[in-house]
Amino acid sequence: MSVITEPIVDLQGVGKSFTRAGKQAKTREVLRDVTLRVGADEILTVLGPSGCGKSTLLNCIAGLEDYDGAITVHGHPVTAPSTDVAVVFQAPTLLPWRTVRANVRYGLELSKAAPGREWDERVDEALDVVGLHDSADL
């Protein structure tokens, strides 16, 4: 017997369009009526050709883009970026003058989600998880 649990990520009828301004204003629909549920033990892969809306979909889930429809993460509506969601961008977004450790710490510095005295411990844990502890000070 399987147990039905609430989804971690839930999208219901999500849509997104971009409008180009100017003399020849043009609206481009990139997402239409996207509905999906991702459970706690599931892995989701989003595949498609360049320009089909993969990154836009992920940006909507992360709260980085406005959208039509409904998105919840852990049961909470997505209306803005949240400390519960992490984003790894396609293009390099590291600050080259900072060490690996300082780049990882940067998110904590901006969010102030944890007291400053906990930052070093959290950064070390994150570096260990991804196997970068030996490169932390590069």
pLDDT tens digits along 123-134: 999 999 999 999
pTM over 0.95: no
Residue 54 has a pLDDT of 94
pLDDT at 4: 59
The residue assigned the tokens 């549920």 is 37
Q: How far apart are CA 76 and CA 108, in angstroms?
A: 22
Identity of the amino acid at 79: T
Residue of 59, 95, 96 whose CA lies nearest to 78 = 59
More confident residue, 54 or 91: 54
Please tell me the predicted confidence (pLDDT) of residue 115: 82
Question: Which residues make beta-bridge pairs with 113?
Answer: none
Over the stretch 26-82, which tens digit does the pLDDT of each residue have?
899 999 999 999 998 898 899 999 989 999 999 999 999 999 999 999 999 999 988
